[in-house]
Amino acid sequence: MTRTTIRRVSTFGVSGLTCPDCLVLLMERVRQQPGVREVTVDLEPAGESSLTIAPAEAVSAEEIRALVDEIGFDYIARRSHRRPPVDRTLARGLP
């Protein structure tokens, strides 16, 4: 099996988070994973919450998925954030 790593800020869909206690549990457990620098969660009790991870180094996506499943929530998807391209023509005139 190919190992997928998270190397940039990534957002995972998570369902089953229904209260602030669930949110704290998930954030604490993910924060304990090696390589994780920052974790945020946007709680949507009736739908898909967003778990955003900022890695300090490469983090295993499979380990995050397994952790979410182990805690009892449903892992939904992965969406990476890409920085928008810089318009170099506008930047040329800057000091």
Instruction: Specify the CATH number for the domain of residue 35.
Output: 3.30.70.100
Domain count, the chain: 1
Q: What is the mean pLDDT of residues 37-53?
A: 90
| pLDDT over 60 at 79, yes or no | no
* 39/60: higher pLDDT: 39
| pLDDT over 90 at 20, yes or no | no
Task: Answer yes or no: is 91 within a domain.
Answer: no
Closest CA relative to residue 14, chosen from 55, 63, 52: 52
| pLDDT over 60 at 38, yes or no | yes
For residue 37, which amino acid is it?
Answer: R
Which pLDDT score is estimated for 26? 94
| pLDDT over 50 at 58, yes or no | yes
The 10 Å CB-count burial string (b at 16+, else e) for 22-54 is: bbeebeeebeeeeebeebebeeeeeebbbbbbe
Tokens 């800020």 map to which residue? 9
β-sheet bridge partners, residue 53: 10, 39
| pLDDT over 70 at 95, yes or no | no
Distance between CA atoms of 30 and 22, rounded to whole angstroms? Answer: 12
Q: What is the mean pLDDT of residues 64-82?
A: 80
Which pLDDT score is estimated for 83? 46
Task: Answer yes or no: is 92 within a domain.
Answer: no
The range of the structural domain enclosing residue 47 comes to 13-82
